[in-house]
Chain A
């Protein structure tokens, strides 16, 4: 019996696991599939008519899609946060959930990539970015870098997850030096994907609001707030729905990281506000539009003030030890942080970068129903991927999914 047989057993068993579930499991999957189908049908409309079905224009040429893209790259980067305490500080408790973190990273990268795909005017030409076959503008183009780091990150995480799961399935633990090396690379890679994503914006002197060296740190800080927020919520859900158990210290360390990161995020926002408003100039025009509106135009005002309020409430909860340790309050803070950062980094950063335009025109943007439907479809897809991966992970870790030799009496060839 060779290695390929073992892989086949693993895949068959995993698929079997995915098709056994409670009514709640199936209604969740069904709900996601409905959202996904709705998104797909909206995408078909977009393919037929072009991006004219979105709210984007020559004035505001990126919108809801790229906003979500920027945010989910952050989630993907932060999901690997668990790797650092697990392997560098050798925290056994964190190691218990590290596979869930990687599953989330995979799902989030896929979501990010899909948001770029739906934003493309000519998605069928995506093969043009493949080096040698197409024409890859590397190293000049930051988007080329982003393509590279995101696909690399996806591969790294997928490989690690599959490798570890496969070993656990066979009742072994990963010991190889190569594996440790890959884990270390993944950590740095995680920082790089979000930095490069920040550079996609900050590399444009044409857009004064984005053109700040603070954008990279701001992206990382806000990712390290929103990422743990999502992980805490997810771990809570998994704990309540499955028999999977992990130490409360994992939640504690995540909540602490999140607290510090959210404090830094708010500090960075404050620094930006000061710089832009103290001596208001060209650089501050977008910020003025975002927070106050220009000449009565300010579609983004409710978004950004809501985000600011959510983040402030969240950080207040997190900074009070008694509240942070109370799971109900912590979950509230997590939800607030997640959506607060989602707005702040997406609609509150990508869109106002275009307003006023480089020729000074104040032109408004709001997403259309088609855009929102497609975005929901992609979210559903991401959650579907995560559900599938997490269910497998939980089954393997609980020992429910493990290799059973079909012929136990035959001596095993190793």
Chain B
């Protein structure tokens, strides 16, 4: 009995160490994804797969028969879907055939590391801006190889709007001075607000 418990513990410990080392080696080798603009200029995109907690998805899904019925999912999937005003759902972007990939509106399968191509199905202008640098975020250098973040690295694809958050503290004034508090500060009205409040009611 003790022998069994001991060996089980050992096995468990070994598994933990192995998985941790696996995770580490994965973190070290971030393989950038090569991409080109329509003009042929090369740029590199931060990979996405390494950030996904449950990837590869097929690990579980190979055991579950696919169900194309539109429905609300629960954990471990995100329960909230605030994207596309109910015109889209999971299988609009996730490939029902190959759970380890995404899919675009043409039904082509797209690698998770190339998620931007899925987004581009609808957000064409944004995608173009992203490719050329008008949208998105560049990493590290302004010079040399252009490395940019992929769409889902800033926007959660299920709730893509950037969430409001607390700002950092307001600016202090010069040491020794206090900010004058405006005793009669008035709320500024926009032109339309003023027009609405003026005798129009």
Complex alpha-carbon distance, A309 and B185, angstroms: 29
Is B175 in contact with chain A by the CB < 8 A criterion?
yes
Complex alpha-carbon distance, A296 and B182, angstroms: 6
Interface residues as binary, A370-390 with B (CB distance below 8 Å gives 1, 0 otherwise): 000000000000000000000
B180 partner residues in chain A, CB cutoff 8 A: 297, 362-364
Main secondary structure on chain B at its contact with chain A?
Answer: loop
Interface contact A297-B182, CB-CB below 8 Å: yes
Closest CB in chain B relative to A272 CB, distance in Å = 25
A295 partner residues in chain B, CB cutoff 8 A: 182-186
Q: Chain A residue with minimal CB distance to B178?
A: A364
Is A135 in contact with chain B by the CB < 8 A criterion?
no
B175 partner residues in chain A, CB cutoff 8 A: 52
Is A326 in contact with chain B by the CB < 8 A criterion?
no
B167 partner residues in chain A, CB cutoff 8 A: none
Complex alpha-carbon distance, A295 and B187, angstroms: 11
Report the interface size class on chain B. Answer: 10 to 19
Is A58 in contact with chain B by the CB < 8 A criterion?
yes
Interface contact A57-B185, CB-CB below 8 Å: no
B176 partner residues in chain A, CB cutoff 8 A: 52
Taking CB atoms and an 8 Å cut-off, the chain A residues in 256-286 that contact chain B are: none
B174 partner residues in chain A, CB cutoff 8 A: 52, 57-58
Q: Chain A residue with minimal CB distance to B176?
A: A52
Is B177 in contact with chain A by the CB < 8 A criterion?
yes
Taking CB atoms and an 8 Å cut-off, the chain A residues in 115-145 that contact chain B are: none
A363 partner residues in chain B, CB cutoff 8 A: 173, 179-180
Complex alpha-carbon distance, A362 and B180, angstroms: 8
B184 partner residues in chain A, CB cutoff 8 A: 295-296
Interface residues as binary, A280-318 with B (CB distance below 8 Å gives 1, 0 otherwise): 000000000000000111000000000000000000000
A59 partner residues in chain B, CB cutoff 8 A: 173
Complex alpha-carbon distance, A57 and B179, angstroms: 11
Main secondary structure on chain A at its contact with chain B?
Answer: loop
Q: Chain B residue with minimal CB distance to A49?
A: B176
Taking CB atoms and an 8 Å cut-off, the chain B residues in 162-196 that contact chain A are: 173-177, 179-180, 182-186
Interface contact A296-B183, CB-CB below 8 Å: yes
Q: Chain B residue with minimal CB distance to A297?
A: B180
Interface size on A, residues (CB 8 A): 11
Interface contact A57-B177, CB-CB below 8 Å: yes
Q: Chain B residue with minimal CB distance to A294?
A: B182
* In-complex Cβ contact of B182 among A52, A57, A58, A362 (8 A): A362
Q: Chain A residue with minimal CB distance to B180?
A: A364
Q: Chain A residue with minimal CB distance to B183?
A: A296
Complex alpha-carbon distance, A58 and B179, angstroms: 12
A57 partner residues in chain B, CB cutoff 8 A: 173-174, 177
Closest CB in chain B relative to A325 CB, distance in Å = 48
Complex alpha-carbon distance, A380 and B174, angstroms: 31
Taking CB atoms and an 8 Å cut-off, the chain A residues in 151-188 that contact chain B are: none
Interface residues as binary, B83-118 with A (CB distance below 8 Å gives 1, 0 otherwise): 000000000000000000000000000000000000
Complex alpha-carbon distance, A362 and B173, angstroms: 12
Closest CB in chain A relative to B172 CB, distance in Å = 11
**Most chain A CB atoms below 10 A, which of B173, B175, B177, B185:** B177
Closest CB in chain A relative to B31 CB, distance in Å = 45
Q: Chain A residue with minimal CB distance to B184?
A: A296
Interface residues as binary, A49-68 with B (CB distance below 8 Å gives 1, 0 otherwise): 00010010111000000000
Complex alpha-carbon distance, A296 and B173, angstroms: 20
A362 partner residues in chain B, CB cutoff 8 A: 180, 182
Complex alpha-carbon distance, A409 and B175, angstroms: 73
B185 partner residues in chain A, CB cutoff 8 A: 295-296
Closest CB in chain B relative to A249 CB, distance in Å = 52
Q: Chain A residue with minimal CB distance to B182?
A: A295
A58 partner residues in chain B, CB cutoff 8 A: 174
Q: Chain A residue with minimal CB distance to B185?
A: A295
Taking CB atoms and an 8 Å cut-off, the chain A residues in 342-379 that contact chain B are: 362-364
Interface residues as binary, B146-172 with A (CB distance below 8 Å gives 1, 0 otherwise): 000000000000000000000000000
Closest CB in chain B relative to A319 CB, distance in Å = 39
**Most chain B CB atoms below 10 A, which of A58, A295, A364:** A295
Taking CB atoms and an 8 Å cut-off, the chain A residues in 52-86 that contact chain B are: 52, 55, 57-59
Taking CB atoms and an 8 Å cut-off, the chain B residues in 15-52 that contact chain A are: none
A52 partner residues in chain B, CB cutoff 8 A: 174-176
Complex alpha-carbon distance, A297 and B174, angstroms: 18
Task: Give 27 CB contacts A-B under 8 Å.
Answer: A52-B174, A52-B175, A52-B176, A55-B177, A57-B173, A57-B174, A57-B177, A58-B174, A59-B173, A295-B182, A295-B183, A295-B184, A295-B185, A295-B186, A296-B182, A296-B183, A296-B184, A296-B185, A297-B180, A297-B182, A297-B183, A362-B180, A362-B182, A363-B173, A363-B179, A363-B180, A364-B180
Give 9 closest A-B pairs by Cβ, nearest first: A296-B184, A296-B183, A295-B182, A57-B174, A364-B180, A295-B185, A295-B184, A297-B180, A52-B176
Question: Residues on B close to A: CB < 8 A?
Answer: 173-177, 179-180, 182-186
**9 additional contacts, CB 8 Å, given A59-B173, A297-B180?**
A52-B175, A57-B174, A295-B185, A295-B186, A296-B182, A297-B182, A362-B180, A362-B182, A364-B180
